[in-house]
A and B are shown apart, each in its own frame.
Chain A
Amino acid sequence: MVLKIQNICKNFGGISALTDVSFSVNEGEIFGLIGPNGAGKTTMFNVITNLFTPTSGEITFLGEKITGIKPFKITDKGICRTFQNIRLFTQMTSVENVLVGGHSRSKSGVLSGVFHTKSQRLEEERLHAKAITLLELVGLYNQRDIVSENLSYGQQRRLEIARALASDPKLLLLDEPAAGMNETETDDLFYLIKKVQKLGITILLIEHDMPLVMKLCDRITVLNFGKKLAEGTPEEIQNNPAVIEAYLGSEEDDEIA
């Protein structure tokens, strides 16, 4: 078991965004976190990466309690994420973005960086080589020297994945990776995520594109109004009356809104 979420609650000034949510993610699987808008999915990610401290509950990662430690240390431990509203370092090139992703797996400081010590040079070579490999993996090798704000939307999403992978995560959190992508891009994304899984990386994924989720995920947890509604394989979820109810209801709401 890679990640274990136990009874997580998160309140914002009296409004509860997450209520008593528990689930666990097994090693090597692709785990989907779905639910209507405002169900608390991104809040869950923010709690896992400790951008938010949970009001109560506990999260263990590889058997170690990670609630309450600093966000950057979460990355050290092997969890890295992408963002729903892409947060690349917009004025850096693709390569530079991925190099920053490798920050937690490198350690040269001011002096070694300035005086180019041998270990620093080796480290930079290693980081660069790795960045190139990752850019090839996500299909951005030819765009490596382009400033990231000039990349297309789909490319930016893939670059975010490469940047996260540069931190050698054991668990990768993807927040709506297919948002805004067309069909071909979504197909490419499907294969990319499968490839990442083959690297031995466990994936926890938030996604609204249901066909993609059903095709991709081994197991799924459904959140609704901050509570866990259901959990199971894609087939079980698709046939769960409560889930159908929540989704149909919410889609109608969406129509009205």
Chain B
Amino acid sequence: MLGEFINPYYLQVGSFIMINIILGLSIYITLSSGQLSLGNAGFMGIGAYTSALLTINYDLPIVIGIIVGAVVAGIFGILIGIPSLRLQGVYLAIATLGFGEVIRVFFINWESVTRGAVGISGIPHIGRELFAFFREMGFDPSAIGLKNNQFVYLLVLIILLMINILLVWFFIRQNKSRVGRAFAAIKMDEKAAEAMGINITYYKVLSFTQGAILSGFAGALFAHVMAYISPADFSYHRAVEILIFAVFGGSEVIWGAVFGATFMTLMPEVLRFISEYRYVIYGLVLVVMMAFRPQGIIDVSGLEWLKHKMPRGRVAHGSKNSKHL
């Protein structure tokens, strides 16, 4: 039956891909207004710790924890975003990198709350909570031929997939709207955008905050899928990994980040021997991409080509927003 085809391990890899796609979107959305933030690992940590601590210490439902986690990350996004506006390009990147490291140092040192470098374990697991819920409703996974753990992981993957579809839809719509045009205009020429009546302060903080919310959201999901988090999960390496999603996949279009996150998560899983050299390869990818294809694998012209190939395929694209990374 169904159970024979479903390997919990694959399901879990699928869940990681979904979370990484959200992280990819988080860096894509700040880049879409021309800002490079390397602080997304920090925002992710804020979301993860907030949700984990709320659900453990106050017995709040996971859903509430995740929402509050994303909101708190968003508030930090506004607080960091507003003063960072005066910074451009590399300076913004460095300030946000510094922010991420400060957050990590706080997680390590604020031991009474965060349990320090050891991290927090026993975080309520989305799948298991839902499983318990279904149990109470009188549903038994074996009815559809699934073992309990298969059912749990499948449930998590389906939920994450739905969230992802919703998010991609949301940002494609946003890209095509007045807000998306304002982001793209700011990315291409900030002064001209201002002269056209665009309040760049507002839109830059908006896109920065959206990125922070997405990172916090992804972090909260991460906490409840892993059931364990530690400060090391939100280090410089995470920030670089998130950067890779956009740089490799492509930062011009939303599908670039989606593809980058998917590919970069799958690669070490499919090629196990690579796993050990994962970061070596990450490093090479960054260098090679910058030298030969700074816009990433998937770009506007690539999508146009795909559209021609499949005249009825509904390949949506972001605004043609392609100042190379």
Contact = CB atoms under 8 A, between A and B. Distances in A.
B320 A93 contact: yes
A110 B170 CA distance: 10
B56 interface: no
B179 A109 contact: yes
Contacts of A109: 178-179
Contacts of B321: 91-92
Interface stretch (B1-9, B84-92, B136-144, B188-196): B188-196
Interface in B165-205: 170, 173-174, 176-182, 184-185, 188-189, 191-200
Interface in A93-139: 93, 96, 99-101, 103-104, 106-110, 112-116, 120, 123-124, 127
Contact of A114 (B174, B189, B193): B174
Most buried by B among A91, A96, A101, A106: A91
A110 B210 CA distance: 11
Contact of A113 (B178, B188, B192): B178
A49 B179 contact: no
Contacts of B184: 89, 91-92, 96, 100
B220 interface: no
Contact of A167 (B181, B197, B323): B197
Contacts of A83: 192, 195
A1 interface: no
Interface in A49-81: 49, 51, 70-72, 75-76, 80-81
Given A89-B188, A96-B181, A96-B320, A104 B197 contact: yes
Contacts of A104: 196-198
B215 interface: no
A88 B188 CA distance: 9
B178 A91 contact: no
B206 interface: yes
Contacts of A96: 181, 184, 319-320
B177 A120 contact: yes
A100 B179 contact: no
A91 B323 contact: yes
A163 B319 contact: no
Contacts of A51: 191, 194-195
A233 interface: no
A99 B181 contact: yes
A89 B197 contact: no
A101 B179 CA distance: 13
B30 interface: no
A89 B199 contact: no
B181 A108 contact: no
Contacts of A108: 177-179
Q: DSSP majority for the B interface? A: helix
Contacts of B192: 83, 87-89
Interface residues of A, number: 41
A192 B26 CA distance: 44
Contacts of B197: 72, 75-76, 80, 103-104, 167
Nearest to B199: A72
B188 A91 contact: yes
Contact of A103 (B181, B191, B206, B300): B181
A100 B173 contact: no
A71 B190 CA distance: 12
Contact of A72 (B181, B200, B300, B319): B200
Contacts of B188: 89-92
26 contacts: A51-B194, A72-B198, A80-B196, A83-B192, A87-B191, A88-B192, A89-B184, A89-B185, A89-B188, A90-B189, A91-B320, A91-B322, A92-B184, A92-B319, A106-B178, A108-B178, A108-B179, A109-B178, A113-B176, A113-B178, A114-B170, A114-B173, A115-B173, A123-B178, A124-B177, A167-B197
Interface of A: 49, 51, 70-72, 75-76, 80-81, 83, 87-93, 96, 99-101, 103-104, 106-110, 112-116, 120, 123-124, 127, 147, 163-164, 167
Given A49-B195, A89-B184, A114-B173, 13 more contacts: A51-B194, A72-B194, A72-B199, A87-B192, A90-B189, A91-B188, A91-B322, A91-B323, A92-B181, A92-B188, A103-B178, A108-B177, A113-B180
